[in-house]
């Protein structure tokens, strides 16, 4: 299941009356629950289970167990209604890298043209390197994060002027 499909599933569940959905394949397990009170989140590992109480207001909680990372990638959002730019945000917490290794050039530079689906950076999370793709075609106006620095979920990474 691709990240976009998972995002669409979560959005569908949020809009529907469903309280819980469980999907399991050979490569991952996905549990989505909606609750208005205290939620207990369990993430299975190979040797143990970890339980942590999490207080959340009526929002989906995603639990995954996978051999490959399951990444929810938010769509790029307009910076302002009157502006002709979009902002590409981080889909996860991790370390931001502009290139695949220190000896290679950055994936994109200011002024570079990007296409939808083109890799613009890498975010390392828990020793896994996740390629982050542009959600829009256009020109990079600004890089908002320094190389090899920590980023938060939903943190702005790039400003793109769409074609």
Domain count across the chain: 2
pTM above 0.75, yes or no: no
pLDDT greater than 70 at residue 131: yes
What would the pLDDT profile of 87-127 be if each residue is shown by its tens digit? 999 999 999 999 999 999 999 999 999 999 999 999 999 99
- Residue 18 shares a structural domain with residue 81: no
Give how far the C-alpha of residue 39 lies from the chain's centroid of Cα atoms, to the nearest Å: 22
Residues 155 and 85 in one domain: yes
Q: Name the burial class of residue 162, with classes exposed (0-12), middle (13-18) and buried (19+) by CB atoms within 10 angstroms of its CB.
A: middle
* Residue 19, phi-psi category: left (phi > 0), alpha (psi -120 to 50), beta (remainder): alpha
CA–CA dist 9, 21 (Å, integer): 9
46 and 92 together in one domain: no
pLDDT of residue 4: 72
Cβ(144)–Cβ(160) under 8 Å?
no
Q: CATH code at 100?
A: 2.40.50.100
Instruction: Say if residue 88 is in the same domain as residue 147.
Output: yes
Residue 69 confidence (pLDDT) above 60: no
């Amino acid at each position: 299941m691709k990240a976009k499909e998972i995002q669409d599933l979560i959005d569908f569940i949020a809009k529907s009356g469903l309280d819980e959905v469980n999907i399991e394949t050979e490569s991952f397990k996905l549990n989505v629950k909606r609750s208005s009170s205290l939620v207990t989140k369990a993430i299975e590992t190979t040797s143990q289970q970890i339980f942590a109480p999490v207080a959340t207001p009526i929002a989906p909680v995603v639990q995954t167990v996978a051999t490959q990372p399951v990444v929810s990638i938010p769509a790029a959002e307009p910076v302002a209604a009157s502006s002709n730019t979009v902002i590409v945000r981080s889909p996860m917490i991790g370390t931001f890298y502009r290139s695949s290794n220190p000896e290679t050039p950055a994936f994109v530079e200011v002024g570079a043209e990007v296409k939808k689906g083109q890799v613009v950076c890498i975010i390392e999370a828990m020793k896994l390197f996740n390629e982050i793709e542009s959600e829009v075609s256009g020109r990079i106006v600004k890089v908002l994060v320094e190389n090899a620095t920590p980023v938060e979920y939903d943190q702005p990474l790039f400003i793109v002027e769409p074609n």
